[in-house]
Amino acid sequence: MHKKCQKRVEIGRRQFLRGSGLAAAGAAAAAMAPAGRAEAKGMTARGDYPSNRLANIKDLKVDEPMDIAYPDDDSPGVLLKLGKRVDGGAGPDGDIVAYSVMCPHKGYELEYNAEDKTLNCPGHYSRFDCEKEGQQIFGHANQSLPMFSLRIDEKGDIYAEGVDELIYGRFENIRS
Ligand code: FES
């Protein structure tokens, strides 16, 4: 990977981890906290990522992926309830995750396989583990799948508020 891109990816990862740390520290309180001023303006305090409402937890069923887009309409993704607590999972059951569905290799759209909870590329067969924060488990891609950072408010509304890896085809996740 180009040095500059690598640096941006590392910065993105750190921003995401900072967010995760806050969520872990605040646990239930943070997850159920009312939207603050930053969210009211549609922006988070963490970098330039927008705070976008994706759905409500009542809209989700286990293994029925919901199409989303984040941080903008040109970046398709998926919101998933896995039915089992996982690292990076949000919500009362810790099982809600969201990922980009653009393959990091050449951008083919990934498809969800409920049997093994993976996202799979029809292009050159890369596979990503949805229970392991998008870790690549097979194929040509050379990075894990970008995972969207989620926050859930007291009404059960789910917001995306960050991305931990570089989205395919971009130099920066947020377009200026
Ligand atoms: S585009 Fe997905 S593996 Fe090549």
Residue 7: pLDDT over 70: no
CA dist., res. 69 & res. 31, Å (int): 22
Residue 101: pLDDT over 70: yes
Residue 167: pLDDT over 70: yes
pTM, 2 dp:
0.76
Mean pLDDT throughout 78-97? Answer: 98
Q: Which helix (H) or strand (E) holds 118?
A: strand 118-120
> For the segment 57-83, what is each residue's pLDDT rounded down to a tens digit?
999 999 999 999 999 999 999 999 999
Q: What confidence tier does 53 reach under pLDDT thresholds 50, 70, 90?
A: very high
Mean pLDDT throughout 166-170? Answer: 95
**Residue 130 half-sphere exposure, CB side, CA atoms within 13 Å?**
32
Q: Give yes or no: 105 in active site.
A: yes
The correct CATH number of 3-163 out of 3.40.50.300, 3.40.50.880, 3.40.50.2300, 2.102.10.10 is 2.102.10.10
Per-domain residue ranges of the chain = 3-163
Residue closest via CA to ligand 1's atom 3 equals: 124
Type of residue found at 11: I
Mean pLDDT throughout 86-90? Answer: 97
What is the whole-number distance in angstroms between the Cα of residue 10 and the centre of ligand 1? Answer: 22
Q: What confidence tier does 20 reach under pLDDT thresholds 50, 70, 90?
A: very low
What pLDDT, on a 0 to 100 scale, did the predictor assign at position 176?
Answer: 75
What pLDDT, on a 0 to 100 scale, did the predictor assign at position 47?
Answer: 54
Question: Is 13 a pocket residue for ligand 1 (Cβ < 6 Å)?
Answer: no
Question: Is 121 a pocket residue for ligand 1 (Cβ < 6 Å)?
Answer: yes
Q: Give yes or no: 124 in active site.
A: yes
Contacts of 47 (CB under 8 A, 6+ apart): 15, 162, 174
Q: What confidence tier does 152 reach under pLDDT thresholds 50, 70, 90?
A: very high
